[in-house]
Amino acid sequence: MKGNYHVIDGKGRRAEQALAAFCKANGQILLPLVELVEQARLTVSTVLVTGQI
């Protein structure tokens, strides 16, 4: 693939605008959630590497 692209129809544009508005209004909420996801990913990766379940 030579370039990145995406196609957005009418519903997709509205969803994109709604998501952008939500992120703008709730930015303080999203950062801790992203950090939790990041920590969980690292924990799962560590468990898989060490073979502990």
* pLDDT, averaged in runs of 10, over the chain (53 residues): 65 80 80 89 90 67
Using alpha carbons, list the distances in angstroms from residue 31 to 20, 21, 26, 38, 42.
Answer: 15, 15, 9, 11, 17
So what's the pLDDT on residue 2?
A: 67
Of 21, 23, 43, the closest CA to residue 33 belongs to: 23
Beta carbons of 47 and 53 less than 8 angstroms apart: yes
